[in-house]
A = this chain, B = another copy of it.
Amino acid sequence: MVHKTMNDLSIPIKRALVSVSDKTGVAEFARVLHAQGCEIISTGGTKKVLEENGLPVTDISAVTGNPEAFGGRMKTISFQIESALLFDREKDKQEAAALGIRSIDMVVCNLYPFEQVKNRGADFDTLIENIDIGGPTMVRAAAKNFKYVAIVTDPGDYEELAQELQQNNGALSYDTRFKLMRKAFNATADYDAMISETMDETAGKLSVRLAFGRAKELRYGENSHQSAWLLRRNGTNHSYFDVKVLHGKELSFNNMVDMYSALDSVRDLKQSGCAVIKHNNPCGLSEGAEQRRVFEQAWAGDPVSAFGSVIAFNRPVGKETVTFLHLDAENKMLRKFVEVIAAPAFEAAALEYLYQHKNLRVVEYDPAGLTPDLDYRFLHNALLVQTTDRKLKEKTEWVTERRAELDEALLDFGLIAVRQVKSNAICIVRRLPDGDHQLLGMGAGQPNRVNSTQLAIARARENLKNEFEGSPQELEEYIAQQMGRAALISDAFFPFPDNVELAVAAGLRVIVQPGGSIRDKSVIAKCNELGVAMMFTGTRHFKH
């Protein structure tokens, strides 16, 4: 049910109650109220600030007939103030007059800074003292009676409201009051959410309250018969909601999900990196010294699937990098179509080049804003919360007779890759002659790990075939040489030695896995038998 607003019902603000914890801009705003002939009622610290700014102020005690009492716990709450906010200006007019109640038309109030005090690590008694009682009462009373009263809870609104008051003879429109009312109830809801979470926490009990606003309706959800929305979490400085689409169509639901995975994939890379995401899995990943080369190496991870993918970079993108897409090629078959290309920034020339393709979404993101500590998963009316999977490895222990030269930077690259691939995940990674790292093949999402290993090997072989420029007779030799230098990384332990046999048959000689199976011994024995170097890291990376 959408409530129809009535634009014509302006209310002159003749009497305002101003009582704020955050004093920012309050004097300037009160000056505008005063200039419009509005009487200002105020309390304690706020009153002092207004008076120092030369504004005439009525003390709240003159309205309530009560003193400020109990160390400030009682200031505004009274029959007089809440009646002045709550009575119906039509139905209750005579009753109010008989009771000596005069309308208050505006409340300017923000609440005791419970959250800031909490974040400063205050003790329990200080927290309790910072639970505002009078403020929320005024705010909620004014909001309930928004038909006649304006409730101002955000100093960020002063300027716009001042303009409206000045342009509208000291009155505010119904639409404005309605909007302010919604903001007020959002503020009191957020406030009590913070208090209840904190009080539960002090009792050693976890409760979670998540509030989201600023919704955007998306064209549709994961499929076109599903409706979908994206919302921003309230009260946060950084949100995935804030990514900027510089060019192209609106991001779809699936773009959002894939791009999230893309940004996750490149976030922890140490060098200039690029991820190519298809169906939520990185099918290409590379890092190195030169961004253009890195892009080519990531693309080569699965050059067929890369068409229609979502691409992310972790460094500002130059034109040299994006010309690899050949968007201006005469032969349309040479043009590489991707859904999304995301980066922390783009050079102007890169943007100019990318804007040639009208459907390509170009997205700028703030890398500082995308390091979540917690991962939330919603099941039906239940929430799974977990800390994010940040630690790459517990140890680096060779468990076989053979040890290998495995550069730690390549190992970390491989662990970042495998951490991002859906389980069961197998990644084959290599160090290129120029020191870059590349995901050479990956197997994702299989019930049986053997299938993931097969998929990763098949992909790696295909890619090596694509890059090989020698004669066909030399191909297998080249593959064996490259595989021999690569490392196979598994997200979880090998339950049986069969994966080792497959890897060795494909020419692989270095395997990294967390270890921890009851059959580790037989897996290690198989490695020793076949001359494989196997490292245990002690850290599993399931991702589902």
Does A253 count as interface, using CB distance less than 8 angstroms? yes
Assess the B213–A200 pair: CB atoms within 8 A: yes
| Contacting pair A196 B186 (CB below 8 A) | yes
CB-nearest residue of chain B relative to A306?
B447
Task: Give the copy number.
Answer: 2
In whole Å, how far is A319's beta carbon from the nearest beta carbon of chain B?
28
A544 B222 Cβ-Cβ under 8 A: yes
Whole-angstrom distance from the CB of A193 to the nearest CB of chain B?
Answer: 5
Cβ of B215 and Cβ of A207 under 8 Å apart?
A: yes
Q: Is the CB of B380 within 8 A of A378?
A: no
Q: Which of A123-151 contact B (CB under 8 A)?
A: 123-124, 128, 131, 133, 136-137, 140-141, 143-144, 147
Most buried by B among A69, A423, A445, A446: A445
A254 part of interface (Cβ distance < 8 Å): yes
Residues of B with C-beta under 8 A to A423: 279
> Per-residue CB proximity of A228-268 to B under 8 Å, as 1/0?
11111100101111000000000001101110100000000
Task: Flag the segment in A28-36, A72-80, A354-362 that touches B.
Answer: A72-80
State which of B217, B254, B371 has its C-beta within 8 Å of the C-beta of A542: B254
Interface centre among A133, A302, A304 (most CB of B within 10 A): A133
A346 at the interface (CB under 8 A from B): no
Cα distance A106–B318 in the bound complex, in angstroms: 68
Given known pairs A69-B95, A140-B136, A279-B424, the reply for A203 and B182 (CB within 8 Å) is yes
Please measure, in the bound complex, the distance between the C-alpha atom of A447 and the C-alpha atom of B281, giving whole angstroms.
7
Query: Is residue A1 within 8 Å, beta carbon to beta carbon, of the partner chain?
Result: yes
Taking A382-B240, A383-B233, A544-B257 as contacts, is the C-beta distance between A185 and B199 under 8 angstroms?
Answer: yes
Chain B neighbourhood of A137, CB < 8 A: 77, 133, 136-137, 140
A71: which of B92, B230, B278 is its contact (CB, 8 Å)? B92
A451 interface contact, C-beta 8 A: yes
Q: Is the Cβ of A66 less than 8 Å from the Cβ of B79?
A: yes
Task: Out of B217, B309, B379, name the residue touching A260 (CB < 8 Å).
Answer: B379
Contact present for B96 and A83 (CB under 8 Å): no
- Nearest B residue (CB) for A238: B381
Binds B, one of A387-395, A476-484, A524-532: A387-395
Instruction: Across the interface, name the chain B residue whose C-beta is closest to A130.
Output: B144
Cross-chain contact A92 with B77 (CB below 8 angstroms): no
Question: Chain B residues with Cβ under 8 A from A447's Cβ?
Answer: 278-279, 281, 283, 302, 305, 309, 444
The 6 closest A-B pairs by CB, nearest first: A445-B445, A221-B386, A305-B447, A278-B447, A239-B381, A206-B215
